[in-house]
Structure 1
Amino acid sequence: MFALLSDDLRFYFEIGGYVMPPLVVATFILWFAIGYRFAALRRGSARSARVLLQRNAKRVRHAPRGLIERAVLRGLEIAEQNPPNLRRWLDDAFAEYETTTKRFHKLILTIVTVAPLLGLLGTVSGMIETFDSLADMSLFSQSGGIAGGISQALFTTQMGLAVAIPGLVVGGLLDRKALHLRTELAQVKDLICAEHEEAKTA
């Protein structure tokens, strides 16, 4: 089975030309980044931020399972220390979580943008080979001739789009989730500060 897979990979690399190695590397990096973001953007509990704060304020606490739960616990720990400027402390503490929501965003966007361009480069290279074969009147050559040039042109275009389109769709969904989490982080800070002020004036 490994030998069959190796033969298939060799065939794809040969038919795709010099554009294929960067496209394959870009594919692995893209899906590693997407997998990391998917794991990092876990919210945790489905309960609202207000409910999570109320439950944890009553010491009904458990190990956090996601980013919002970790932020709630961290925010309450800081509030219990009663610092002079709570909002500034929360901003500093939550900066790590906000950075986590943005990690690998630009990398995914870059790969999604570059992959079709690499495919287009392979298309141009394949068409050049095709026209060279036509000019030499050689239907077959060591590099594949007309058939090889057309195959490379079509295959690299297909590969570039196959990398970019799923990455664009999944990356867009993760960006929306990250934006929603950043909004919730801001809400957690507002709620903690409001409850802290109420406790001081009570």
Structure 2
Amino acid sequence: MELLSLFEKGGLVMYPLLVCSIIAVAILIERVRTYNKAQSNMPLLKEKVAEFVVAKKWQELRDICDKDGGAAAELVKTAALQLHDIDKQTQSLQGAAIAIAARLRAYLNYLETIVTLAPLLGLLGTVTGMIGSFSVLSVSNGEPFAITGGVGEALIATATGLCVAILALVIHAYLAQREDNLVSQMEEISAVYMTALVGDNDAA
């Protein structure tokens, strides 16, 4: 009940701040699920990629990628579909890497917006609350302390805005690190794939 009372005292800006906090948590849940699915078993994948590319076992390579299901495996499978053409495989790797990386970055820009927007909303709530307090003071007869409660209530919006911004900032930092790790995996598996492919091509 106390939290509900504080929420009501914060003014109308508390509603968009609540929406911002819900969006931030929803993005966290959705991205964590996505990143968990995109995680690959890198030691096994690197071993099999190097082995199957050299041996030209393309079907076995695609099967192991399907079984893995991660972003790095998806990248390898896309290139492996372009058989007997090193240029097309290279282009497929590059194009797929860009597309997958963009998919992994999805929604992170919303968190950046919330980090900036939430404190501004809190400040707006404080300003509008203080305007209301001064209006009360101007019409009150001999009640100068009427402004004190209004200012205290107005500061609730600022504190809430900062809390939402901090929450969104922490979530963004965590998700950005997870996304960077997945991109690094894709870069690593691309290097293994191309090394095996070019080495096999030179040997031929």
TM-score interval (norm. to shorter): 0.7 to 0.9
Displacement, 1:114? 0.3
More displaced stretch, 176-185 vs 123-132:
176-185
Given the two structures, how large is their TM-score scaled by the length of structure 2? 0.77
Q: Percent identity?
A: 28
The answer for the alignment partner of 1:18 in structure 2 is: 12
Q: Say yes or no: does 1:54 pair with 2:25.
A: no
Determine which of 107, 124, 128 is the counterpart of 2:127: 124
Q: Distance in 2 between the 1:182 and 1:21 partners? A: 36
Determine which of 41, 44, 47 is the counterpart of 2:39: 44
Given the two structures, how large is their TM-score scaled by the length of structure 1? 0.78
Give the counterpart letter for 2:118 in structure 1.
A
The 8 Å contact of residues 71 and 186 in structure 2, kept in 1 or not, is answered as no
Q: Distance in 2 between the 1:138 and 1:39 partners? A: 59
Displacement, 1:134? 2.0
Aligned length: 188
The answer for the alignment partner of 2:173 in structure 1 is: 172
Displacement, 1:158? 1.6
Q: Distance in 2 between the 1:147 and 1:15 partners? A: 13
Unmatched tracts of structure 1, length 5 or more: none
**SS of the residue aligned with 1:103?**
coil
Q: Distance in 2 between the 1:150 and 1:162 partners? A: 19
The 8 Å contact of residues 122 and 152 in structure 1, kept in 2 or not, is answered as no
Indicate the RMSD between aligned Cα atoms, in angstroms. Answer: 2.8
The answer for the alignment partner of 1:181 in structure 2 is: 182
Displacement, 1:117? 0.7
- The C-alpha deviation readout for 1:85-132, integer Å capped at 9, x for no partner, is 121111122232111221112111001110011011111111112222
Give the counterpart letter for 1:83 in structure 2.
D
Q: Say yes or no: does 1:134 pair with 2:129.
A: no
